Amino acid sequence: MSRSLPWAPVALIVLLLVLWQGAFLLAGPDALAAPLQTIAYLAQQLTTPEFQQHIAATGTAFLIALLIAIAGGLLIGLMLGLSRTATEVAEPLLLAGNSIPKIALYPIVLLLFGIGLSAKVAFGALHGIIPVAIFTMSACRNIAPVLLKSAAVMRLSRADRIRSILLPAALPDIVTGVRMGFSLTLIGTVLGEMFGSQSGLGYLLMTAIGLQNTQVIMAVTLLLVAFAATVSTALLAYERRLRSRY
pLDDT in tens, 167-180: 777 788 889 999 99
Between CA 196 and CA 202, with CA 198 as vertex, the angle to 5 degrees is 70
In a domain, 168, yes or no: yes
pLDDT at 6: 55
- Say how far apart CA 201 and CA 55 lie, in whole Å: 6
Low-confidence residues of the chain, pLDDT below 70?
1-9, 144, 147-148, 151, 156, 158, 246
Which residues, other chains included, contact 241 with Cβ-Cβ below 8 Å and sequence gap of 6+? 2
pLDDT at 201: 92
In a domain, 90, yes or no: yes
pLDDT at 246: 59
- Say how far apart CA 73 and CA 69 lie, in whole Å: 6
| Structural domain count, the chain | 1
In a domain, 101, yes or no: yes
pLDDT at 1: 42
Predicted TM-score of the model (pTM): 0.83
Find the domain containing 180 and state its range.
54-245
Which among 18, 15, 12 is positioned nearest to 36, based on CA atoms?
18
pLDDT at 241: 86
In a domain, 58, yes or no: yes
pLDDT at 57: 93
For residues 114-142, one letter each, b for 16 or more C-beta atoms within 10 angstroms of the residue's C-beta and e for the rest, the string is: eeebebbbbbbbbbbbbbbbbbbbbbbbe
Helices (DSSP H) in the chain: which residue ranges?
A: 7-27, 35-45, 49-81, 84-99, 106-113, 117-141, 145-153, 158-161, 167-196, 201-211, 214-245
Encode pLDDT of 142-162 as tens digits: 776 776 677 677 776 767 777
What type of residue is 191?
A: L
In a domain, 11, yes or no: no
pLDDT at 18: 86
Q: Is 155 left (phi over 0), alpha (psi -120 to 50) or beta?
A: left
pLDDT at 13: 74
The CATH number that applies at residue 164 is 1.10.3720.10
In a domain, 1, yes or no: no
In a domain, 237, yes or no: yes
How far does Cα 146 stand from its chain's mean position? 33
In a domain, 14, yes or no: no
